[in-house]
Amino acid sequence: METSWEKLQKKPVRLIAAACNDMGIGKDGKLPWDLPTEFQYFVNTVKTVSRPGRMNFMVWGRLCWDSHPESLFPLPNILHVVLSKTLDTVPDHAHFLCRDFDSAIRLAAEPPLADLIETIWIVGGVQVYKDALNHPWCDLLYLTDVMADFDCDVFFPEFDKNLFQLQEGFPRVPSEIQEENGIKFKYQVFKRDTADTV
């Protein structure tokens, strides 16, 4: 029988994404831009833990996993879970396979992982972001604003900017506009207004 939600060890659920002017996030299964500094910011953010011995948990859609992993390994302090209803076995280099979003959250919040896991990072794609934005444990959205137009075929889901409010001077997040390969971008963090965090 499933453990009730009240008995799970609550973990922060945090999204991280980069979106261009029309909220596009991907094209043909890949990122539409080449921004190594932004990618390094992503890596630094998701691997941060507050003390040695703790780990973070990263939730991937199957297509994102297929398009990203080789450049990501090895990543310290991360356990990777891939969501899929069609795969039968855990994909290479991943740690877990789950059939739906809630199963992944439970996995991180129940024994034996619960004492180990600090933050659940949601790294897309679209359906996984939608599920996370609706999850009661979701407190922060790290959303880099790529200040340019790109041809995209996947888009970050709409979210309520009254519920998720843009933060000023968020800790460890550079506030000045960045530029790389002729593309301007800025790091942003939106915090759920009911969230008690940081």
Ligand X SMILES: NC(=O)c1ccc[n+]([C@@H]2O[C@H](COP(=O)([O-])OP(=O)(O)OC[C@H]3O[C@@H](n4cnc5c(N)ncnc54)[C@H](OP(=O)(O)O)[C@@H]3O)[C@@H](O)[C@H]2O)c1
The answer to whether the CB of 89 falls within 8 A of the CB of 97 is yes
Q: How far is the CB of 52 from ligand X (least distance, A)?
A: 28
**Binding positions for ligand X, 30-69, rule CB under 6 A:** 30-31, 61-64, 67
Identify the CA nearest to 12 among candidates 68, 50, 42. 50
How is residue 18 written in tokens?
A: 């980069």
Judged by CB under 6 A, the residue of 9, 44, 48, 127 near ligand X is 127
Rg of the Cα atoms in the chain: 16
DSSP of 77-135: TEEEEEE-SS--SPPTT-SEEESSHHHHHHHHHSTTTTTTEEEEEE---HHHHHHHHTS
Does the protein bind ligand X through residue 84 (CB under 6 A)? yes
Binding to ligand X (CB under 6 A) within 168-187 occurs at none
Under rule CB under 6 A, residue 17 binds ligand X: yes
Q: Which member of 2, 6, 8, 31 is catalytic?
A: 31
In angstroms, how far is the first alpha carbon of the chain from the final one? 34
Q: Is 38 a catalytic residue?
A: yes
Q: How far apart are CA 90 and CA 82, in angstroms?
A: 8
Of these, 7, 51, 85, 161, which contacts ligand X (CB under 6 A)? 85
Least distance in angstroms from the C-beta of 177 to ligand X: 18
Catalytic residue among 35, 38, 107, 143: 38
90 lies in the site for ligand X, by CB under 6 A? no
Least distance to ligand X, CB of residue 90, Å: 13
Query: Does 23 participate in binding ligand X (rule CB under 6 A)?
Result: no
CA 150 to each of CA 21, 25, 161: distance values in angstroms, whole numbers, following the listed order: 8, 9, 23
What are the residues binding ligand X (CB under 6 A)? 17-18, 25-26, 29-31, 61-64, 67, 83-87, 99-101, 123-128, 131, 154
Catalytic residues: 31, 38
